[in-house]
Protein backbone atom coordinates (compact mmCIF):
# COMPACT_ATOMS: atom_id res chain seq x y z
CA UNK A 1 0.00 0.00 0.00
CA UNK A 2 1.40 3.35 -1.08
CA UNK A 3 0.15 6.43 0.72
CA UNK A 4 0.36 10.17 0.59
CA UNK A 5 -1.26 12.69 2.93
CA UNK A 6 -5.03 12.54 3.39
CA UNK A 7 -6.93 15.68 4.28
CA UNK A 8 -10.08 13.97 5.52
CA UNK A 9 -10.23 10.31 6.45
CA UNK A 10 -12.95 8.05 5.19
CA UNK A 11 -13.83 5.00 3.16
CA UNK A 12 -15.97 4.59 0.04
CA UNK A 13 -18.48 6.74 -1.80
CA UNK A 14 -22.11 5.90 -2.25
CA UNK A 15 -22.02 5.04 -5.94
CA UNK A 16 -18.90 2.89 -5.96
CA UNK A 17 -20.10 0.09 -3.70
CA UNK A 18 -23.33 -1.27 -2.32
CA UNK A 19 -23.45 -0.77 1.43
CA UNK A 20 -24.37 -3.64 3.74
CA UNK A 21 -26.12 -1.25 6.11
CA UNK A 22 -29.75 -0.18 5.98
CA UNK A 23 -28.66 3.22 4.66
CA UNK A 24 -28.35 2.49 0.94
CA UNK A 25 -27.01 5.98 0.25
CA UNK A 26 -24.14 5.40 2.69
CA UNK A 27 -24.30 9.09 3.67
CA UNK A 28 -22.74 8.41 7.08
CA UNK A 29 -19.41 7.42 5.48
CA UNK A 30 -17.14 10.47 5.12
CA UNK A 31 -15.27 11.05 1.90
CA UNK A 32 -11.57 11.58 1.33
CA UNK A 33 -10.62 14.98 -0.13
CA UNK A 34 -7.37 13.50 -1.41
CA UNK A 35 -7.31 10.83 -4.11
CA UNK A 36 -8.10 7.31 -2.88
CA UNK A 37 -8.12 4.34 -5.23
CA UNK A 38 -8.63 0.60 -4.98
CA UNK A 39 -7.54 -1.74 -7.78
CA UNK A 40 -8.70 -5.36 -8.04
CA UNK A 41 -7.61 -8.23 -10.28
CA UNK A 42 -9.68 -11.24 -11.32
CA UNK A 43 -9.25 -14.89 -12.19
CA UNK A 44 -12.46 -14.75 -14.23
CA UNK A 45 -11.23 -12.61 -17.12
CA UNK A 46 -7.94 -10.91 -16.28
CA UNK A 47 -9.67 -7.53 -16.01
CA UNK A 48 -8.54 -4.91 -13.51
CA UNK A 49 -11.32 -3.02 -11.76
CA UNK A 50 -10.48 0.48 -10.58
CA UNK A 51 -12.63 1.96 -7.83
CA UNK A 52 -12.11 5.72 -7.56
CA UNK A 53 -13.14 6.07 -3.93
CA UNK A 54 -12.97 9.85 -3.95
CA UNK A 55 -15.25 10.44 -6.93
CA UNK A 56 -17.36 7.29 -6.50
CA UNK A 57 -16.70 5.89 -9.98
CA UNK A 58 -15.77 2.43 -11.20
CA UNK A 59 -13.77 1.54 -14.31
CA UNK A 60 -13.35 -1.93 -15.76
CA UNK A 61 -9.98 -2.19 -17.51
CA UNK A 62 -9.62 -5.03 -19.99
CA UNK A 63 -5.98 -6.15 -20.03
CA UNK A 64 -3.89 -8.44 -22.19
CA UNK A 65 -4.22 -11.19 -19.57
CA UNK A 66 -7.01 -13.74 -19.29
CA UNK A 67 -6.26 -14.36 -15.59
CA UNK A 68 -4.17 -12.44 -13.08
CA UNK A 69 -3.24 -12.45 -9.41
CA UNK A 70 -1.01 -9.82 -7.85
CA UNK A 71 -1.02 -6.10 -8.64
CA UNK A 72 1.12 -3.08 -7.84
CA UNK A 73 0.37 0.56 -8.69
CA UNK A 74 3.24 2.95 -9.45
CA UNK A 75 2.11 6.61 -9.43
CA UNK A 76 5.66 7.70 -10.35
CA UNK A 77 5.23 6.43 -13.91
CA UNK A 78 1.40 6.34 -13.90
CA UNK A 79 1.20 2.56 -14.26
CA UNK A 80 0.08 -0.63 -12.69
CA UNK A 81 1.74 -4.02 -12.98
CA UNK A 82 -0.05 -7.37 -12.77
CA UNK A 83 1.13 -10.96 -12.63
CA UNK A 84 -0.55 -12.71 -15.55
CA UNK A 85 -1.51 -16.34 -15.25
CA UNK A 86 -2.80 -19.00 -17.62
CA UNK A 87 -1.62 -21.07 -20.55
CA UNK A 88 -0.46 -18.20 -22.76
CA UNK A 89 0.29 -15.30 -20.37
CA UNK A 90 2.82 -16.07 -17.65
CA UNK A 91 4.62 -12.81 -17.03
CA UNK A 92 4.55 -9.51 -15.19
CA UNK A 93 2.81 -6.93 -17.38
CA UNK A 94 2.93 -3.14 -17.05
CA UNK A 95 0.08 -0.84 -18.16
CA UNK A 96 0.75 2.91 -18.36
CA UNK A 97 -1.37 6.05 -18.55
CA UNK A 98 -3.86 4.83 -15.97
CA UNK A 99 -4.64 8.24 -14.44
CA UNK A 100 -6.15 9.42 -17.73
CA UNK A 101 -8.86 6.75 -17.66
CA UNK A 102 -12.26 8.33 -17.04
CA UNK A 103 -14.55 5.93 -18.91
CA UNK A 104 -16.54 3.11 -17.30
CA UNK A 105 -14.82 0.55 -19.52
CA UNK A 106 -11.54 0.69 -21.41
CA UNK A 107 -9.21 -1.71 -23.21
CA UNK A 108 -5.49 -1.49 -22.46
CA UNK A 109 -2.56 -3.34 -23.97
CA UNK A 110 0.51 -4.07 -21.89
CA UNK A 111 3.20 -1.45 -22.55
CA UNK A 112 5.89 -4.00 -21.67
CA UNK A 113 6.18 -7.42 -20.04
CA UNK A 114 8.78 -9.56 -18.36
CA UNK A 115 9.91 -12.99 -19.54
CA UNK A 116 7.23 -15.70 -19.64
CA UNK A 117 8.46 -17.77 -16.70
CA UNK A 118 5.70 -17.52 -14.09
CA UNK A 119 3.80 -20.70 -13.27
CA UNK A 120 1.47 -20.01 -10.36
CA UNK A 121 1.83 -16.36 -9.27
CA UNK A 122 0.05 -15.26 -6.10
CA UNK A 123 1.26 -11.79 -5.13
CA UNK A 124 3.62 -8.92 -5.95
CA UNK A 125 5.77 -6.93 -3.51
CA UNK A 126 7.99 -4.04 -4.58
CA UNK A 127 11.17 -2.56 -3.13
CA UNK A 128 12.65 0.24 -5.21
CA UNK A 129 12.97 -0.96 -8.80
CA UNK A 130 12.71 -4.62 -7.81
CA UNK A 131 9.40 -6.43 -8.28
CA UNK A 132 9.14 -9.71 -6.37
CA UNK A 133 6.52 -12.23 -7.47
CA UNK A 134 5.52 -15.04 -5.09
CA UNK A 135 5.04 -18.15 -7.23
CA UNK A 136 3.69 -21.31 -5.61
CA UNK A 137 5.04 -24.66 -6.87
CA UNK A 138 3.60 -27.24 -4.45
CA UNK A 139 2.95 -27.82 -0.75
CA UNK A 140 6.67 -28.00 0.01
CA UNK A 141 8.23 -25.47 -2.34
CA UNK A 142 7.79 -21.95 -3.60
CA UNK A 143 9.74 -19.38 -5.54
CA UNK A 144 10.30 -15.66 -5.52
CA UNK A 145 10.97 -14.33 -9.01
CA UNK A 146 12.82 -11.01 -8.67
CA UNK A 147 12.44 -8.68 -11.66
CA UNK A 148 14.22 -5.37 -12.11
CA UNK A 149 12.18 -2.62 -13.73
CA UNK A 150 14.33 -0.21 -15.75
CA UNK A 151 13.95 1.87 -18.92
CA UNK A 152 10.52 0.50 -19.78
CA UNK A 153 11.34 -3.17 -19.32
CA UNK A 154 11.38 -6.00 -16.81
CA UNK A 155 14.43 -8.25 -16.61
CA UNK A 156 14.78 -11.30 -14.39
CA UNK A 157 17.35 -10.47 -11.73
CA UNK A 158 17.28 -13.72 -9.75
CA UNK A 159 15.10 -16.62 -8.63
CA UNK A 160 14.95 -17.45 -4.93
CA UNK A 161 13.55 -20.88 -4.06
CA UNK A 162 12.31 -21.68 -0.58
CA UNK A 163 11.08 -24.74 1.31
CA UNK A 164 7.39 -23.86 1.66
CA UNK A 165 4.46 -22.98 -0.55
CA UNK A 166 4.14 -19.22 -0.87
CA UNK A 167 1.16 -16.89 -1.20
CA UNK A 168 0.91 -13.31 0.09
CA UNK A 169 4.10 -11.25 0.46
CA UNK A 170 4.86 -7.80 1.85
CA UNK A 171 7.98 -5.69 2.23
CA UNK A 172 8.41 -3.99 5.61
CA UNK A 173 11.48 -1.90 5.02
CA UNK A 174 13.97 -4.25 3.41
CA UNK A 175 12.57 -7.37 5.07
CA UNK A 176 10.22 -9.56 3.06
CA UNK A 177 7.34 -11.13 5.00
CA UNK A 178 5.67 -14.15 3.41
CA UNK A 179 2.73 -16.25 4.51
CA UNK A 180 3.40 -19.97 4.64
CA UNK A 181 0.58 -21.53 2.63
CA UNK A 182 -1.05 -24.71 3.92
CA UNK A 183 -0.39 -23.44 7.47
CA UNK A 184 -0.97 -20.66 9.98
CA UNK A 185 2.63 -19.46 9.81
CA UNK A 186 4.28 -16.17 8.88
CA UNK A 187 7.89 -16.13 7.67
CA UNK A 188 10.39 -13.30 7.29
CA UNK A 189 13.44 -13.06 5.05
CA UNK A 190 15.68 -10.43 6.63
CA UNK A 191 17.17 -7.87 4.24
CA UNK A 192 15.81 -10.01 1.42
CA UNK A 193 17.35 -8.44 -1.69
CA UNK A 194 20.81 -7.71 -0.28
CA UNK A 195 21.05 -11.11 1.40
CA UNK A 196 20.11 -12.95 -1.79
CA UNK A 197 21.94 -11.23 -4.67
CA UNK A 198 21.84 -14.26 -6.99
CA UNK A 199 19.84 -17.42 -7.69
CA UNK A 200 19.67 -19.47 -4.49
CA UNK A 201 17.67 -21.88 -2.39
CA UNK A 202 17.12 -20.37 1.06
CA UNK A 203 15.14 -20.87 4.24
CA UNK A 204 13.33 -18.05 6.00
CA UNK A 205 15.19 -16.11 8.67
CA UNK A 206 12.31 -16.83 11.05
CA UNK A 207 8.93 -18.56 11.04
CA UNK A 208 6.17 -17.93 13.59
CA UNK A 209 2.76 -19.58 13.97
CA UNK A 210 -0.19 -17.19 14.24
CA UNK A 211 -2.55 -18.73 16.77
CA UNK A 212 -6.22 -18.76 15.71
CA UNK A 213 -5.53 -18.94 11.97
CA UNK A 214 -6.19 -22.24 10.15
CA UNK A 215 -4.68 -21.46 6.72
CA UNK A 216 -3.35 -18.05 5.84
CA UNK A 217 -3.24 -16.39 2.40
CA UNK A 218 -3.35 -12.58 2.35
CA UNK A 219 -1.06 -10.12 4.13
CA UNK A 220 -0.90 -6.33 4.41
CA UNK A 221 1.07 -3.88 6.56
CA UNK A 222 0.62 -0.17 7.25
CA UNK A 223 1.23 2.14 10.18
CA UNK A 224 2.71 -0.55 12.38
CA UNK A 225 -0.25 -2.93 11.99
CA UNK A 226 -0.17 -6.26 10.17
CA UNK A 227 -3.27 -7.85 8.66
CA UNK A 228 -3.36 -11.58 7.84
CA UNK A 229 -6.26 -13.43 6.26
CA UNK A 230 -7.48 -16.93 7.15
CA UNK A 231 -9.22 -18.98 4.45
CA UNK A 232 -9.75 -21.90 6.88
CA UNK A 233 -11.12 -24.85 4.84
CA UNK A 234 -10.65 -24.32 1.10
CA UNK A 235 -13.58 -26.62 0.31
CA UNK A 236 -16.54 -28.28 2.01
CA UNK A 237 -19.93 -27.26 3.37
CA UNK A 238 -18.65 -24.22 5.28
CA UNK A 239 -15.99 -23.05 2.83
CA UNK A 240 -17.93 -19.91 1.88
CA UNK A 241 -18.39 -18.71 5.47
CA UNK A 242 -15.46 -19.97 7.58
CA UNK A 243 -12.87 -17.35 6.64
CA UNK A 244 -11.63 -14.29 8.47
CA UNK A 245 -8.74 -11.94 9.08
CA UNK A 246 -6.51 -11.03 12.03
CA UNK A 247 -5.43 -7.55 13.06
CA UNK A 248 -2.04 -7.41 14.79
CA UNK A 249 -1.30 -3.92 16.13
CA UNK A 250 2.24 -3.05 17.27
CA UNK A 251 3.23 -5.89 14.99
CA UNK A 252 7.01 -5.52 15.02
CA UNK A 253 7.37 -5.67 18.80
CA UNK A 254 5.02 -8.65 19.04
CA UNK A 255 6.63 -10.57 16.20
CA UNK A 256 10.17 -9.86 17.39
CA UNK A 257 9.29 -11.11 20.88
CA UNK A 258 8.42 -14.58 19.54
CA UNK A 259 11.29 -17.00 18.97
CA UNK A 260 11.80 -18.78 15.66
CA UNK A 261 9.34 -21.68 15.60
CA UNK A 262 7.21 -20.11 18.34
CA UNK A 263 3.60 -18.90 18.38
CA UNK A 264 2.09 -15.43 18.47
CA UNK A 265 -0.79 -15.81 20.93
CA UNK A 266 -4.33 -15.11 19.74
CA UNK A 267 -4.76 -12.84 22.76
CA UNK A 268 -2.38 -10.37 21.10
CA UNK A 269 -4.56 -10.18 17.98
CA UNK A 270 -8.07 -9.16 16.93
CA UNK A 271 -9.93 -11.74 14.83
CA UNK A 272 -12.84 -10.98 12.49
CA UNK A 273 -14.79 -14.06 11.37
CA UNK A 274 -18.32 -15.45 11.13
CA UNK A 275 -21.17 -15.78 8.66
CA UNK A 276 -22.06 -12.07 8.81
CA UNK A 277 -18.58 -11.10 7.58
CA UNK A 278 -19.24 -12.82 4.22
CA UNK A 279 -15.71 -14.21 4.34
CA UNK A 280 -15.02 -17.78 3.26
CA UNK A 281 -11.87 -17.56 1.15
CA UNK A 282 -10.30 -14.13 1.73
CA UNK A 283 -7.34 -14.59 -0.62
CA UNK A 284 -5.94 -11.07 -0.40
CA UNK A 285 -6.16 -8.05 1.89
CA UNK A 286 -5.13 -4.40 1.96
CA UNK A 287 -5.02 -2.04 4.93
CA UNK A 288 -5.20 1.74 5.31
CA UNK A 289 -3.99 2.74 8.78
CA UNK A 290 -5.24 6.34 8.48
CA UNK A 291 -8.88 5.25 8.21
CA UNK A 292 -8.28 1.94 10.04
CA UNK A 293 -9.92 0.07 7.17
CA UNK A 294 -9.28 -3.44 5.85
CA UNK A 295 -10.17 -4.27 2.25
CA UNK A 296 -10.74 -7.94 1.43
CA UNK A 297 -10.69 -9.89 -1.82
CA UNK A 298 -13.20 -12.63 -0.99
CA UNK A 299 -13.16 -15.39 -3.60
CA UNK A 300 -15.60 -18.04 -2.35
CA UNK A 301 -18.64 -16.17 -1.01
CA UNK A 302 -21.05 -15.22 -3.78
CA UNK A 303 -18.52 -16.02 -6.49
CA UNK A 304 -16.34 -13.07 -5.51
CA UNK A 305 -16.72 -9.96 -3.38
CA UNK A 306 -14.70 -6.88 -2.50
CA UNK A 307 -15.39 -6.12 1.15
CA UNK A 308 -14.38 -3.33 3.52
CA UNK A 309 -14.30 -3.35 7.32
CA UNK A 310 -13.83 -0.10 9.23
CA UNK A 311 -12.38 0.68 12.67
CA UNK A 312 -10.78 -2.75 12.73
CA UNK A 313 -8.24 -2.03 15.48
CA UNK A 314 -10.90 -0.72 17.86
CA UNK A 315 -13.98 -2.66 16.75
CA UNK A 316 -13.36 -5.69 18.91
CA UNK A 317 -13.43 -8.26 16.11
CA UNK A 318 -15.97 -11.06 15.89
CA UNK A 319 -18.84 -11.63 13.48
CA UNK A 320 -18.94 -8.10 12.06
CA UNK A 321 -20.95 -7.03 9.03
CA UNK A 322 -18.74 -5.39 6.39
CA UNK A 323 -19.26 -1.68 5.83
CA UNK A 324 -19.00 -2.29 2.09
CA UNK A 325 -19.86 -5.30 -0.05
CA UNK A 326 -19.29 -5.21 -3.80
CA UNK A 327 -19.62 -8.20 -6.15
CA UNK A 328 -16.62 -8.94 -8.36
CA UNK A 329 -16.44 -12.38 -9.97
CA UNK A 330 -13.18 -14.23 -9.41
CA UNK A 331 -11.52 -11.42 -7.46
CA UNK A 332 -7.94 -12.45 -6.73
CA UNK A 333 -5.90 -9.51 -5.39
CA UNK A 334 -6.12 -5.86 -4.36
CA UNK A 335 -3.98 -2.74 -4.23
CA UNK A 336 -4.96 0.40 -2.33
CA UNK A 337 -3.39 3.75 -3.14
CA UNK A 338 -4.00 7.27 -1.92
CA UNK A 339 -2.12 10.47 -2.43
Domain map of the chain by residue range?
A: 2-338
322 pLDDT higher than 70: yes
pLDDT at residue 1, as a whole number: 53
Lowest mean pLDDT among 87-91, 122-126, 335-339: 87-91
Is pLDDT at 104 greater than 90 in this prediction? no
Q: Taking 60 as the threshold, does the pLDDT of residue 191 lie above it?
A: yes
Q: Does residue 34 have a pLDDT over 90?
A: no
Q: Alpha helices, DSSP H only, in the chain?
A: 192-195, 251-256
Q: What percent of the chain has pLDDT over 70?
A: 90
Tell me what the mean pLDDT of segment 9-17 comes to.
41
Counting residues of the chain whose pLDDT is more than 90, the rounded percentage is: 81
CB-based burial label for 106 (10 Å; 0-12, 13-18, 19+): middle
Is 90 exceeded by the pLDDT of residue 37? yes
Q: Report whether pLDDT(64) > 60.
A: yes
Q: What is the pTM of this model?
A: 0.91
Would you state the pLDDT for residue 7? 25
Burial of 83 (0-12, 13-18, 19+ CB in 10 A): buried
The CATH number fitting domain 2-338, selected from 3.40.50.150, 3.30.70.141, 2.130.10.10, 3.40.50.920: 2.130.10.10
DSSP per residue, 46-72 = --EEEEETTTTEEEEEE-S-SSEEEEE
Task: Identify which has the larger pLDDT, 3 or 293.
Answer: 293
Contact between residue 239 and residue 298 where contact means Cβ atoms under 8 Å apart: no
- The overall average pLDDT reported for the chain is 90
Q: What is the CA radius of gyration of the chain?
A: 19
Amino acid sequence: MNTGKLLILGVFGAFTFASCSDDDNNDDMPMNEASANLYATSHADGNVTHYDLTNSTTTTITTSASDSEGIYVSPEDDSFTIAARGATQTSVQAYVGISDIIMSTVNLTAAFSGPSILQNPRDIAVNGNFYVVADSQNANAGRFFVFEKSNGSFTLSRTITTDFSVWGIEFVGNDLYAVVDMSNELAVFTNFLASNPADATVSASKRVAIEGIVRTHGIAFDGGTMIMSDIAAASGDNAATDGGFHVITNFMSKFNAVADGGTLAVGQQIRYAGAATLMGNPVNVEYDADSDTVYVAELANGGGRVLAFTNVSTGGGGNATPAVNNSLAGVSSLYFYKG
